[in-house]
Amino acid sequence: MPELPEVQTIVGELNEKIKSKTIKNVRVFKYKSVRPMNKKFVQSVKRRKILGVVRRAKMIIINLSGGKHLLIHLKMTGQLVFRDRRGKGLSGGHPIAFKGELPTKFTRVMFEFTDKSHLFFNDIRRFGWIKFADKKLYESEIAKYGLEPLSKEFTLAEFKNKLRRYPNRKIKQLLMDQTLIAGVGNIYADEACFAARLLPARPALKLKEKEIKDLFKAIPRILKLSISKKGTSADTYVTTSGAEGGMMKFLKVYGRAGEKCKRCGGVVHKIKLGGRGTHFCPGCQK
């Protein structure tokens, strides 16, 4: 699924398109995709103005008038498609094919705005969801996630505290635990470990002071680089303009199993770690 840079890219582009619009009507094609799973969802969302679109972890948050929110998670195959009143549009997330016609058989929710533009939530496998949230639910949902690695709260001291909490866990598993650090997934955990010259399977308690500092510095640096390149088009992600993210050519190990290491000339390996494909170079990661 899209990670922090990909979601941030979608959020920034979507915010430009739908901020200040008012929702005229909502059609729910599959109530399994929304919460609450009934017609109250439609009545709750109608006539609300969009104040802005932001991100928390891998979640897209559309802030609405009246102190309400739409929380959206694309999961494995979710896609958001914006169409202006003339039918021109953008789609971000997973590039579900459609021949111009919307809604499609994969459309789960359609939002119609007062200016006759639309926002479609498409999802092939129906793992993604949209939740209408009041203040209580909103605060409960965002509290589930850990430190934002691009925030001021992401300090070396706090990072060390996260590592100490689970000393026997492997580094990569800690980085991907959303309750500890928000938004880092498979791609950027691999890349951060490579940048810090650490094997992803190293237990946290085995890290030396300098190694911890190097990993701490690598995480936001790599995420910022990816955001500047509009993310990585792995697992079929595309930006809301339908273009592939430009980060692929900057990746050092992810997706490069069997290829030559860009740093030491060794061979990039791939193993399963915690059920996830994990890439590293045994020549320069210790």
List the CATH number of the domain containing 51: 3.20.190.10
Kindly state whether residues 276 and 160 are assigned to the same domain: yes
Kindly state whether residues 102 and 211 are assigned to the same domain: no
pLDDT tens string 40-82:
999 999 999 999 999 999 999 999 999 999 999 999 889 998 9
- Structure confidence at residue 237 (pLDDT): 55
Q: Where is pLDDT greater, at 98 or 20? A: 20
Spatial CB neighbours of 138, under 8 Å, sequence gap ≥ 6: 69, 71
Question: Which of 142, 174, 198 is the last residue in one of the domains?
Answer: 142
Question: Which of 118, 142, 166 is the last residue in one of the domains?
Answer: 142
| pLDDT confidence band for 93 (50 / 70 / 90) | low
Which strands sit side by side in the sheet containing 118-123, from one edge to the other? 23-28, 107-113, 118-123, 78-83, 89-93
Q: At what angle are helices 156-165 and 209-228 packed, to 10 degrees?
A: 110
* Lowest-confidence region among 38-42, 96-100, 210-214, 272-276: 96-100
- The CATH number assigned to the domain holding 248 equals 1.10.8.50
- Structure confidence at residue 85 (pLDDT): 86
- Structure confidence at residue 243 (pLDDT): 56
**SS3 of 65, please?**
helix
- Structure confidence at residue 242 (pLDDT): 53
pLDDT(234) > 80 = no
Cβ atoms of 170 and 199 within 8 Å: the answer is no
Active-site amino acid positions? 2-3, 58, 276
**CA 184 – CA 197 distance, rounded (Å):** 18
- Determine, yes or no, domain membership for 151: no
**SS3 of 89, please?**
strand
- Structure confidence at residue 246 (pLDDT): 78
- Structure confidence at residue 101 (pLDDT): 79
**CA 263 – CA 34 distance, rounded (Å):** 46
pLDDT(228) > 70 = yes
Kindly state whether residues 132 and 16 are assigned to the same domain: yes
- Structure confidence at residue 87 (pLDDT): 73
**CA 55 – CA 35 distance, rounded (Å):** 19
Cβ atoms of 70 and 56 within 8 Å: the answer is no
Kindly state whether residues 162 and 138 are assigned to the same domain: no
Kindly state whether residues 176 and 75 are assigned to the same domain: no
**CA 211 – CA 232 distance, rounded (Å):** 26
* Lowest-confidence region among 25-34, 90-99, 260-269: 90-99
- Structure confidence at residue 181 (pLDDT): 97
Kindly state whether residues 9 and 96 are assigned to the same domain: yes
Range of the domain at 19: 4-142
- Determine, yes or no, domain membership for 90: yes
Quote the tokens at residue 257: 């199993």
DSSP letter at 116? Answer: S
Kindly state whether residues 52 and 162 are assigned to the same domain: no
Kindly state whether residues 176 and 87 are assigned to the same domain: no
Q: What is the DSSP string of 201-267?
A: T-BGGG--HHHHHHHHHHHHHHHHHHHHTT-B--TT-B-TBSPPPB-GGG-SSTT-TTSBPTTTS-B
Give the number of domains in the chain.
2
pLDDT(14) > 90 = yes
- Determine, yes or no, domain membership for 132: yes
pLDDT(169) > 90 = yes
- Determine, yes or no, domain membership for 149: no
Question: Which of 142, 172, 192 is the last residue in one of the domains?
Answer: 142
DSSP letter at 48? Answer: P
- As a whole-number percent, the residues of the chain with pLDDT over 70 amount to 91
